[in-house]
Amino acid sequence: MNELLHLAREPQCTAARPAQPRLPMPLRTRLAVLLLATVLAGCSASPSTVQAQPGPSAQATAPETGLAPSPPSVALPEVEVTPQLIFQLLAAELAAQRGEIGTAAATYLSVAQKYRDPRVARRATELALTARTPQRALTAARLWLELEPGSALASQTVQALQLSTGDLRAAEESIVRQLDLARQQGSLAAAYETVQRALLRVQDRAQALELLERVSAPDQGRAEAQLALATLAQAAGQRERVSRHAARALELAGDDATAVVRAAQLIAADEAARPRAIAALESFVARAPKSTEARFALARLFAQSDRREDARRQFEAALEIEPQSPTILFALAQLAYQTKHPEDATRYLRRYVDLPTEIERDQNPALLFLGQIAEEARRFDEAIKWYQQVGPGDQQLSAITRKAIVLGRLGRLDEARLALREAPVTEREERNRMIAVEAQVLRSAGRHADAFKLLDDALAQQPDEPDLLYDHAMAAEKIDRIDVLERSLRKLIELRPEHAHAYNALGYTLADRGLRLEEAQQLIEKAVSLAPNDGHIIDSLGWVLFRRGQFAGAIEQLRKAFELMPEAEIAAHLGEALLAAGQRDEAIRILRRGREIDPDNETLVDTLRRLGLGL
């Protein structure tokens, strides 16, 4: 149920610590008793949530409502904390800690039904959601709402569960009440957002859309209702209705920039209708030139339409209005980089990182971006400086790996390896990623035997790790251990029969060495069947055909590969095949193009040397 509903956590209320028992109890038991005391202590503000340890299931939290949380609308029952009650709840909590969530939920529901306490009913709901038993959760949530009828969270939970279990009729009644209350409270926009999110979880989107059509009938003249209808129509794949409702929302939005932007985005989801969305936003920006929200959305649509100069002008205009906007500065940096103006991208990023500390933003993406720009410009010391500033977060490991690669290129291998080995990794996949990068650094430095040993040692600890098997095979190829390469790749194919690059690597290696060419072609053709648009695999197919003397077929495949991926190695293969077929002028042109792309490419350099071409 986690994907359907999330119960919101409320702050724990404070309960008096119970007297220490005379006989010592295990720590887990003592903690559970304290939690139970909190559940039953009669907190005055809101029902307490006892935290369970449900094992692998994710904790559930509820979707936001458009309404403020309600205090309990009924007095809490007088509950005599008897030994039997303590035993029941304690047993339930311990069951939850052991991962027996269904048992715990059933016990809590039984207690809630007997003692009529909304706090216990809420706990039963939480546990049933975590146990992914929607019918039990719905029973508990209905009891919770019955005992605490003023709780917006309880009402919302019942509604979401009704939708998820397919009880649309009951959910519709609940939504009608929710929207009626929102009209009274003046919070209709937020309420429609909540209803929209709930209906998007319904499996039958067409039914959900029809339900929304009915409940929104009183609000057809409001932009928020039309936007919700357009969003549901989009989810249901009904393009004509998306266009109709979004266009109506634009008419009704007036000076509401958020509604105008959302309507334009819905219209622009249909690429053919994107010019109409752009026109609508241009019209709005003309009326409200200081709306950075509208300018930002317009710039995005310009960029998607490949009108990058128009996009830049809109971002720049937005930046004049909000010169310290991290979002606008980063967007301008991305656009400048995409249009091959790295100096402008660097300027915007420096402004981003130099913003006052009180402006909330994540520095890491900008620091990583600055490092990548400097690295591409071969300003390696500057790149290292930027990478070193990236702190904990999603970008940190990427920064560490880039820094290590740059250090390797500078010949500072010991520093590179130390950085990778000291990386703050917690997961096995992350550690394997660091090992793979370390092997890459060693290979780039020509230390192929060291790279092989590193991966060989790692594979001895994790013999069935797919990523390590592939890298191990590639390292084995560099030291001419084709037997090891074949063994690792065949094991990888056994573990991952859909691993296209395993078939390709084995087939290409055999073909490149003129070994078992028929089998090599079969392996590569299998790879092509798994990844038909992969330029590297198509290159392999062309190369094995060349090795078998089928020049026309080889050239056809190699041309296709070079169009998909204009890389130096593919240029070397295509140039050699063209030469063999007597097409010297085109061959020279392609080989020169490969040298422009990457003059140091090992395959290209070897091909030119072997063919005696100086170019």
Nearest to 354 by CA among 389, 384, 397, 400: 389
Q: Has residue 401 been placed in a domain? A: no
Low pLDDT (below 70) residues in the chain = 1-76, 79
Q: Has residue 89 been placed in a domain? A: yes
N-terminal to C-terminal alpha carbon distance within the chain: 65
Q: Has residue 424 been placed in a domain? A: no
Buried b (16+ CB within 10 A) or exposed e, 51-87: ebebeebeebebbebbbeebebeeebeebeeeeebee
3-state SS assignment for residue 379 = coil
Residue that finishes a domain, picked among 146, 165, 184: 165
With the C-alpha atoms ordered 260, 263, 266, 268, is the resulting torsion angle positive or negative? negative
Q: 7: domain CATH number?
A: 1.25.40
**What are the CA-CA distances from residue 127 to residues 104, 113, 120 (Å)?**
7, 15, 11
Please count the structural domains in the chain. Answer: 2
Q: Has residue 76 been placed in a domain? A: yes
Question: Looking at residue 594, what is its pLDDT?
Answer: 95
Per-residue pLDDT reduced to its tens digit, 495-546 = 999 999 999 999 999 999 999 999 999 999 999 999 999 999 999 999 999 9
Tokens, residue 521? 């072609």
What does the CA dihedral 5, 11, 15, 17 come to, rounded to 10 degrees? 90
Judge whether 260 and 284 are in contact, CB under 8 Å: yes
Per-residue pLDDT reduced to its tens digit, 552-563 = 999 999 999 999
Nearest to 210 by CA among 182, 181, 184, 175: 175
Q: 552: domain CATH number?
A: 1.25.40.10
Nearest to 296 by CA among 319, 277, 273: 319
Q: Has residue 432 been placed in a domain? A: no
Q: Has residue 137 been placed in a domain? A: yes
Residue 143 belongs to domain spanning:
1-165
Residue that finishes a domain, picked among 165, 200, 231: 165
Question: Looking at residue 169, what is its pLDDT?
Answer: 79
Judging by beta carbons within 10 Å of its beta carbon (0-12, 13-18, 19+), is residue 566 exposed, middle or buried?
A: middle
Nearest to 227 by CA among 192, 269, 200: 192
Helices 466-478, 482-495: axis angle to 10 degrees equals 160
Question: Looking at residue 464, what is its pLDDT?
Answer: 93
pTM over 0.85: no
Tokens, residue 8? 């919101």
Judge whether 412 and 384 are in contact, CB under 8 Å: no
Q: Has residue 287 been placed in a domain? A: no
Q: What angle do CA 269, 275, 279 make, to 5 degrees?
A: 110
Q: Has residue 456 been placed in a domain? A: no
Question: Looking at residue 412, what is its pLDDT?
Answer: 96
Nearest to 408 by CA among 366, 451, 377: 451
Residue that finishes a domain, picked among 139, 165, 191: 165
